[in-house]
Amino acid sequence: MCHFLKWLGDFLYHVSPQIVAVVFGGLLINRFFIRKANLSSAIDRACTLLEVVRENSARYWSEDYNKLNSEQPILEVKLKGTLIQLGAELDFISTKYGLPAESWETDLTNLYDVCTGGNFESAKRIAEKDRHFRAVKLANLISQKLQHNKI
């Protein structure tokens, strides 16, 4: 038994630095590379949602309200839902990865106001192409701020 313990001690003496190096290397890789890849994936999801907002805003604000057009109520719900989902995604990014939410909170609030303000969901709504262009400008600004944090 004593011989086995001496052999085990010698073995661990020679192998333990390699084990420590592998564990430390794995933690280092996880900390810097996998975490950055996950952040990039979350930013890509948020940018995809911004693209959906741009598309739905263009379709909604480019024509007057029409009772016969059944797509308009669907676009209203899509715009609201996508903006809520975008807010949740940006909250996730800021809490999980420590990015400052102040950099896009105001822009996101302004985007929500532009997309759902005015005569939104009103039977008296007229086409406001300028509203769509402001939404695109704000969405691009948020996208640029997010893209700045990618790899």
Rounded to whole angstroms, the Cα distance separating 33 from 40 reads 11
At 52, the pLDDT band (50, 70, 90 cuts) reads very high
Domain-located, residue 16: no
Handedness of CA 11, 12, 16, 17 (dihedral sign): negative
Between 17 and 135, the more confident residue is 135
| Least confident window among 48-57, 84-93, 102-111 | 102-111
Number of domains into which the chain is organized: 1
pLDDT at 30 (0 to 100): 77
Rounded to whole angstroms, the Cα distance separating 26 from 24 reads 5
Average pLDDT over the chain reads: 86
Structural domain that includes position 97 = 40-147
pLDDT(151) > 70: no
For residue 80, the Cα-to-chain-centroid distance in whole angstroms is 16
Domain-located, residue 137: yes
Domain-located, residue 75: yes
| Least confident window among 66-75, 107-116, 135-144 | 66-75
pLDDT at 77 (0 to 100): 92
Domain-located, residue 7: no
- How is residue 126 annotated by DSSP? -
CATH of the domain at 106: 1.20.58
Between 66 and 58, the more confident residue is 58
For helices 35-61 and 102-116, angle between their N-to-C axes, nearest 10 degrees: 20
pLDDT at 20 (0 to 100): 75
Domain-located, residue 1: no
Rounded to whole angstroms, the Cα distance separating 94 from 149 reads 11
Domain-located, residue 105: yes
Domain-located, residue 12: no
Domain-located, residue 30: no
Determine what percent of the chain is predicted with pLDDT higher than 90: 42
Other residues' Cβ atoms within 10 Å of the Cβ of residue 149: 16
pLDDT at 64 (0 to 100): 81
3-state secondary structure of 67: coil
